[in-house]
Amino acid sequence: MFRSSVALLAAVLTFAPLAEASAQSRDRRDQENPQAQQPNRDRPERPRVSPDEARRRAEASADGRRLDVRVRPDGNYGVIMENGGRVREVVVDGQTGQVRRPNQ
């Protein structure tokens, strides 16, 4: 009985520091890389305006026919319009629905 208690105590004392060291290592990695625990705030939010609404607003603000509607990397919509042989992009804000110039 005494031998099994000693063996069990020795095993606990052997493995307990390993668990603590592993937890400390995990904490250190989290401190070194704070972005791993926080969401990426540089990425734009998903658009709240639908592609159909963006198309309607672009067609109302510019003459011509719509060729395509695309989601831009900044979260806005780019509505490709053609008028008299000229092709241009009308940008619609993905959050508010306001029509903007492409470089704005």
Half-sphere exposure (Cβ direction) of 55: Cα atoms closer than 13 Å? 9
C-alpha–C-alpha distance, residues 78 and 65, integer Å: 14
Residue 74, domain member (yes or no): yes
Average pLDDT score, the chain: 77
Distance (Å, whole) CA 77 – CA 47? 8
41 falls within a domain: no
Q: Categorize the per-residue pLDDT at 35 as very low, low, confident or very high, splitting at 50, 70 and 90.
A: low
Residue 29, in any domain of the structure: yes
Same domain? 57 vs 95: yes
CA distance 85 to 75: 28
Domain count, the chain: 2
User: Which of the pair, 34 or 76, is modelled with greater confidence?
Assistant: 76
96/55 same-domain check: yes
Is the overall model pTM greater than 0.85, yes or no? no
Specify if 32 maps to a domain: yes
> 16 with 57, same domain?
no
Q: Does 78 have pLDDT greater than 80?
A: yes
Residue pLDDT, tens place only, 49-64 = 999 999 999 999 988 8
Share of the chain above pLDDT 70, in %: 56
Shared domain check, 27 and 59: no
Q: Which domain holds residue 27?
A: 2-36
